[in-house]
């Protein structure tokens, strides 16, 4: 007589986990943890404060989405943000009259960095992770050299108001 081994299917926990969106589950766990540690987080104002602080990262993530969807990877975004924030405060110098040309210069810096990254990857056939790693180091060095190692200056109120509008 032959014994047939009973094949057992996946456990109930595994079947449940397959149907759960992992990103949503992680978000809910983090949201719950933060809400327990900071009760005001459940209030509308607390959540809006969180969104205000997360907005720049959300914008960066949306930009990175296009790069990743195209099969690349951009490591230089954080350093570009550092350089533009530092440059913005130093160029504006707290003077409201400097706001608009400072914003223009910062856009040109971002456009230039993106153009250089794109040309290095497409024309020179350098892998995007290597090209953007080089740009990350270059931008960090430029920010350090420009600031002398310590941030100076501050943004005028109309510069901040423009940032809130966008």
Using CA atoms, how far residue 52 sits from 57, 79, 102, 137, 157, in Å, is: 10, 21, 23, 29, 17
State the average pLDDT for the chain: 86
Q: What pTM did the predictor assign?
A: 0.71
- With contact defined as beta carbons under 8 Å apart, do 76 and 139 qualify? yes
Angle between helices 99-122 and 77-92 (to 10 degrees): 150
Q: 16 or 154: whose pLDDT is higher? A: 154
pLDDT grade for 13, boundaries at 50, 70 and 90 = low
Q: What is the pLDDT of residues 40-75, one digit of tens each?
A: 877 888 888 888 888 888 889 998 998 899 888 899
Cα 67 to Cα 61: distance, rounded to the nearest angstrom: 10
**133-153 pLDDT tens trace:** 999 999 999 999 988 888 777
User: Is residue 12's pLDDT more than 70?
Assistant: no
């Amino acid at each position: 007589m032959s014994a047939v081994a009973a094949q057992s299917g996946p456990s109930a926990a595994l079947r449940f986990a397959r149907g759960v969106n992992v990103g949503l589950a992680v978000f809910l766990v983090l949201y719950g943890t933060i809400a327990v540690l900071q009760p005001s987080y459940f209030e509308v104002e607390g959540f809006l404060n969180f969104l205000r602080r997360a907005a720049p990262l959300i914008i960066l993530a949306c930009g990175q989405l296009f790069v990743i969807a195209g099969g690349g990877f951009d490591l230089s975004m954080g350093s570009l943000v550092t350089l533009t924030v530092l440059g913005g405060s130093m160029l504006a110098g707290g003077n409201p009259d400097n706001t608009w040309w400072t914003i223009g210069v910062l856009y040109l810096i971002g456009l230039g960095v993106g153009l250089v990254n794109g040309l290095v990857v497409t024309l020179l056939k350098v892998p995007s992770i290597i090209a953007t790693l080089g740009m990350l180091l270059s931008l960090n060095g430029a920010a350090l050299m420009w600031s002398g190692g310590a941030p100076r200056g501050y943004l005028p109120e109309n510069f901040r108001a423009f940032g809130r509008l966008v």
